[in-house]
Amino acid sequence: MGLRPDLLTRRAAGVASTTLALLLSTAAVGVVPAASAFSAAPGEACVEPADVHADARIKAGGAARHEPNELTLAETREREADLAAALRERARFRAGAGATTLAATVTIPVVVHVIQENSTRAGGNIPDSMITSQINVLNQSYSGATGGAATAFSFQLQKINRVTNPAWYPIVQGSSAERSMKSSLREGGKNTLNVYLGELSNDLLGWATFPQRKLSSMDGVVVLSESLPGGTAANYNQGDTGTHEVGHWLNLYHTFQGGCSGQGDGVSDTPAEASPAFQCPTGRDTCTAPGADPITNFMDYTYDSCMYQFTAGQASRMLTAWNAYRAA
């Protein structure tokens, strides 16, 4: 699995690729078996999660100390059982409404909240140009233009909301201040991506909520502002933290979820991986199962210059979850 030598040049140019033709097979338009490898059996009771689980991307050296809410096996099974239940619920609704089609292409409206301590760049006041470049990176990454599988998703910036509030700066994951910030600022329905930018606590690059059936005010993505294209976060400033966290928002797990055992990330075409990969360790292979570690996948922890792809299985999983949780 080779690296993409032209990736940095293409992203620096800031060219969006939303016009790329999207070719999805029948397997990638949201149709899944009645039960996944993780899911509860049909008819089995499913309990709504007590709270929204979050997942994060962490700088090299920070994983052991600052991993917020990494999913346990029990939490993963809970989420997968809920996904199966949500799919059955949606199927009954569509049957009752006489609808027979599922979304195959999706344009996601994006509202960006820039959280600032003051009006300086050091205080979080990044330029609009970095935000529009981030939207371009999302569109390139999710269209397959950087070399991975094409997904169903494109992104359209609706609004930039600038908020100066030292009480919310830096953004602290899991804090009452984070809850207050999101409860006050979040806009739109389940289909609207709310992105919160600012300085973050504990060496975190970002975190995100997974989708759930009942919309929570916490729903959204938090990203280190200087990880956007042109930012100052060395090795993490090409916009792939945003790509990674939106992947969680669309129901992807880390490629190293579950390590070498069990069902891993629930996607059959991402090879098993024992632990996060940092920097760009070409040829790394930490599990005996076939395939080298997916270090170029957006859902690992490698440098932005190393990651460039989603797989077809991840594209299918995201669209399945969209039709279960976020579709109108």
Residue 242 is inside which H or E element, if any? Answer: helix 240-249
Rounded Cα distance, 115 and 126, in Å: 10
Q: Percent helix, strand and coil across the chain, each rounded to 5?
A: 30, 15, 60
Give the largest Cα separation in the chain, rounded.
56
Rounded Cα distance, 167 and 176, in Å: 11
Closest by CA to 20, choosing from 193, 154, 133, 110, is 154
For 285, phi then psi, to 5°, come to -145, 100
CA-CA distances (angstroms) from residue 192 to 16, 33, 179, 195, 219?
Answer: 20, 27, 18, 10, 9
Set 178, 226, 245, 273: catalytic member:
245
* 108-139 residues labelled b (16+ CB within 10 A) or e (exposed): bbbbbbbbbbeeeeeebebeeebbbbbbbbbb
User: For residues 275 and 259, is the Cβ–Cβ distance under 8 A?
Assistant: yes
| Burial group, residue 281, by CB count within 10 angstroms (0-12, 13-18, 19+) | middle
What amino acid is encoded at 226 in this protein?
E
Active site residue 245: yes
CA-CA distances (angstroms) from residue 257 to 18, 88, 181, 298?
Answer: 30, 25, 29, 14
* Strand ranges across the sheet with 106-116: 54-58, 204-209, 221-224, 193-198, 106-116, 153-164
User: For residues 131 and 156, is the Cβ–Cβ distance under 8 A?
Assistant: no
Q: Which residue numbers are catalytic?
A: 245
